[in-house]
Every structure is written in structure tokens, then in C-alpha cells.
Structure 1
């Protein structure tokens, strides 16, 4: 969410490096699930994973880098569901249904990862996490192109709809809606997305 996401496979790693990466990510998730994101530290992760501190620092660089790696890992799993998962999120459903499903799933993802996304910020980003969503724009543009939307400027429309799903809007919006529990927030924003898409993509 705070790094550009690619459609291709991850860069090849040495077997030992890949093994350490998996171990560290699993361990980080265990710490977050049991104690919360605020309790995850570089030293604590190294100790619990049974690896040297140097290994953790070389892998992630900073504490924020741990959270960025967790986001990247989950982003790839999310992409896989979009590219090859069951419909309507994956292929096989009408484009309107897929677009609605994509927005709802993306909102669930962003709300579910908001604490991790905040922790991934280390002050070096020019913009908040979630601003770079090339997958969203490309996917939305593709689905719009599959519909009959008359003379609509699909490039501009795709950009505007992508902005409606952008991380900063959902993660940092000053709104009473975000004081609710995550499932309530996701459901309310999801209904809003569905209403928006049905209105914008109404047959002319």
C-alpha cells in the first residue's frame, strides 16, 4: 500500500533468504495478532524468530520496513484473488459485478490493514501510504472498457474511481464513520462504493 504494486512474480531470492523472510513475516504476524502492532520491534522480532538482529535489519532496514513487507505480502495475495480467484472478484463475472466486488474487497483490505499501513510510514514518503495503486487503476480501467459507457472518458473515470478507493482517504479521513468497528466501516463504505458504481455505470 505504500509501495507500487506490480503484476509480476516477486524477485527471486536465495533459498535461505526466502526461508528467513517467511519465518520473519509469520513471526511478525503472530506478535501483531497477540500483542498489537505497537509491540512489534526489530529486537523483539529477531528474538522471537530465533534469528540475529543483523538478519532482521538487513531484511527490513527499519521497523517501518517490517510493516511494508507485511503489506506487500498481503497485496500479492490480494492480487492473486483478483487475477485468478473465484468470481465475482476473480474472472468469470460480468464487468459491473466485478467492479463492485473489487471495490468492496479493496475497502475491506484497506480497513483491515489500516494499523499496519500507519506503522509502515517512517516519514520518508512524499505522500501517505496507499497513494500508489497502479493495480487498482489498471483493473478498474479494464473493467470500464468492458462496459458500454457511451462517450465517457474512461481514462479519467478510472483515475477518479481509483481515488475513491485510495488509502489516504480511507485510512486518514477525519470522519465519525471511522470511529466505528472495522467491519461496520467496511460495510458502510462498501455500500457507498456499490451505489457509486451503479450510478456511474448505469446504461445510457
Structure 2
């Protein structure tokens, strides 16, 4: 499918192990979709207490103009593999609410973080028809892979993503890796690979082309 220049809103499901995963992994893409075609759908976040859930709601509202429903599974951070069944159930519940999305955004199934990895692994067992784009999250593990899907974004969208990350997630800004330089540098590197100034990158393991 063409992400920009088409007609009608794009229906998306955004899956996250933690609050801020979606916005770090595909925030600029969501901004681009919102501006070009409009979006609808839902965000599911597996972990996070009350403060972090409030941040995630604010972020969903800011990035998508309140176009996406927000859902939370309320599971413990860092322990998702112990709650395999609850994760699977939460995914199926969102699939019931949004039965035929155009795109599903999820962590990579080979992500070094166990929470990300489990959500990524289970995503394609629940959504077998839609295109699943596995986003990447930079971290100290150094687990960035070679992506095979790129979404070019404008300089304004890249910078807006960074502004919103800072304003929507104040609880995270004191982390050593959380700064504008890191976020913009990552967008710039993927932009070089896509022959654009800035881009977000994804991995997909199956794509169906319909003539």
C-alpha cells in the first residue's frame, strides 16, 4: 500500500511493550500518516503504572490528534515472558476491536529486550493478514538490525517527533540515552539509507502483493 498520496484514512494498530515504545519506533511515521491521509485504530501498551499510562495517553493524543484508542494490559515491566497468556489475550482483544487494520506496528521479534521480543513474536500469530511493520528502538544493547522498509519523513516531522517525545514523556528525559541528538541522529542515519534527509525504518517478514 502507499502510505501517502492515497485516499481515506489508514487504519493502524500500534503495539508496545512499554509507554514510549511506539512513539520512539514510529512516531514520525504516525505524524506523516496523520498529515497525509488521516489515521484511525488503536494503541495497546502492555506495561506501565498510572503515571506512565497518563503519559502514553497524552502521547497518543499528541501524535495522532486523538484519532487512536488507547488500551493498557497493566502487566509488570520487564516480566512479560512470565505473562505469556495475558499478553496473547490482550493482543487478541485489540484485534477484536480493530479487526482489519491496514498496518500493524510492533517491536522486532529479535529485539534484545525480552518484553519487546515477546510482543514482536506474538504479533504475527494474531494478525496474519495485515502488513506488520516491526519498528526499532535504540538501546545500550546495540541490537539495531538491517531494516528492509523505510518511511521518509520531513524535517518538520522529524523535529516534531522529538519535541513531542520530550513533552509527553517527562519521566524519561533524565535517562542517559534520551536526548534530541540521539533521536535526530537515528532518523538521519535511516534517511541516508533511504536516500532522503530523514526516515524511520522497519522490518517486515512477509508482504503480500495483490495485482
TM-score, normalising length: structure 1: 0.31
Q: Would you tell me which structure has more helix in proportion to its own residues?
A: 1
Q: Which has the larger radius of gyration?
A: 1
Q: Would you tell me which structure has more strand in proportion to its own residues?
A: 2
TM-score, normalising length: structure 2: 0.30
If asked which structure has higher relative contact order (CA below 8 Å, sep 6+), I would say 1
